[in-house]
Amino acid sequence: MQEILTVSEITKQIKHVVEENFSSVKIIGEISNFKAHISGHWYFTLKDGDAAINCTMWRGVNNYVFFTPQNGMKVIVTGRITVYPPRGSYQLDTRSMQPAGVGELQKAFEELKRKLHKEGLFDEEIKKDIPTFPQVIGIVTGSSTAALKDMLSVASRRYPLVKILIAPAKVQGDGAAGEIVKSIELLNKKKNVDVIIVSRGGGSLEDLWPFNEEIVARAIAKSKIPVISGVGHEVDFTIADFVADLRAPTPSAAMELATPNKDEIFGFISDFSYNSKNKILAFIENLRNEVTQNLDSYGFKNLISLLNNKKQLLDNYLFRIQTDISNLLSTNKNNLALYTRTINSNNINKILKKGFVLVEQDNNFIKRKEILNIEKTIMLKFYDGKVEINKNGKKD
């Protein structure tokens, strides 16, 4: 009688057979449904025209992949086939990955280039100006490399005043793109860096690939500090070149673009000094000629006569002012005497002294006889006193 197995038992047997017979396989296929999980693991499907297989690549292992996989990229992977019992499915536990050829990398390069260009990351209007006289230059490149030595040599020769701040990073192989991004971000946290050079020497497309990674391109675009790219040789172009504010054909050329030439500065200072001296001397000579012409002119030769004429004119003005003031004072004095005599002539006491009398009734002066009321008390004011008269007789 045939043995009856449980699902778990048959799955376990299949798992043993599959994993024992496919412990190391190499597969070529096209990537689809690629997902870089937040945990760091990669999940994707490898397919061809007739079949597909699910794949995983664990964190730590995928650090050794020098490029970021893209959907549609054809790759060669190695690993082992495993069975996942909860779903009863098999998958490839991926141990390594490489492009199926240079054409696949070039395809990924062109796709990312089109994507970033469409987003506007290559637009000239967003490019930042490179400072003419930087005080501090930050360099992102490999430490102890020939490219770094060449750049330091160029900086020392052209502009020894500049300070160099090196943010070392891997520029080739697994994990290089991430280190380049961290170095760019580190330099952006510094307050005194004026320009950043991102560079490495020449190499194959695979060697230069970290500078074609999307994370590097976005880090350069995000940088608040101007970035010069100097990657590879003149014929090499990377995504970083298109995103950077300025592209240099080599690392040495990048440093030349970042620094002024001290010989040109000294030449400029020398020319400026010479030209300024000649301009100042010419200016002084023009002033000297102008002064000489003025001294020889008719006006300066008859300076005393001119001064005497002005003095005489001033005396005439002073005499006229004194005369006008004297006449004004005399007129005011005569008017004052006239007003004084008029006031004195109308003095009431003097008038009473001449024998005139003031008649008052009800505290009012009586100027006409028709307003005098003989029934009321009358007050007579003489020079020497007052007399009150009522209808009954005299009363002092």
β-pairing, 163-168 vs 74-84, is unpaired
How high is the pLDDT of residue 193?
96
Whole-number Å distance between alpha carbons of 157 and 145 = 19
Q: Is the pLDDT of residue 395 over 60?
A: no
Distance CA 109, CA 242 (A): 12
Q: Give 261-308 pLDDT, tens digit per residue.
A: 888 788 778 777 777 878 888 888 888 888 887 777 766 666 667 777
Pairing, β 378-382 against β 385-390: antiparallel
- Phi, psi angles (nearest 5°) of residue 333: -70, -40
- Region 231-241: mean pLDDT is 88
Can you give the residue ranges of every domain in the chain? 7-100, 120-125+134-260, 299-343, 349-395
pLDDT digits (tens, 9 = 90+) for 128-168: 999 999 999 999 999 888 999 999 999 999 999 999 999 99
pLDDT band at 119 (very low <50, low <70, confident <90, very high): very high
pLDDT of residue 189: 94
pLDDT band at 121 (very low <50, low <70, confident <90, very high): very high
Average pLDDT over residues 335-360: 81
Q: For position 69, what pLDDT does the model report?
A: 86
7-100, which class in CATH? mainly beta
The alpha carbon torsion through 134, 138, 140, 144 (nearest 10 deg) reads 100
pLDDT in the model for residue 1? 62
CATH code for the part of the protein at 120-125+134-260: 3.40.50.10550
Q: What does pTM read for this prediction?
A: 0.58
Inter-residue contact 140 to 199 (CB < 8 Å)? yes
The type of residue at 1 is M
Confidence of residue 196 (pLDDT cuts 50, 70, 90): very high
Q: Tell me: pLDDT of 238 over 80.
A: yes
CA–CA separation, 220 and 344 (whole Å): 107
DSSP assigned state of 62: G
pLDDT of amino acid 308: 76
Higher-pLDDT residue of 100 and 192 is: 192
Does residue 356 register a pLDDT over 80? Answer: yes
Asked if residue 228 lies in contact with residue 244, where contact means CB atoms within 8 angstroms, the answer is yes
Q: Find the mean pLDDT for residues 44-63.
A: 90
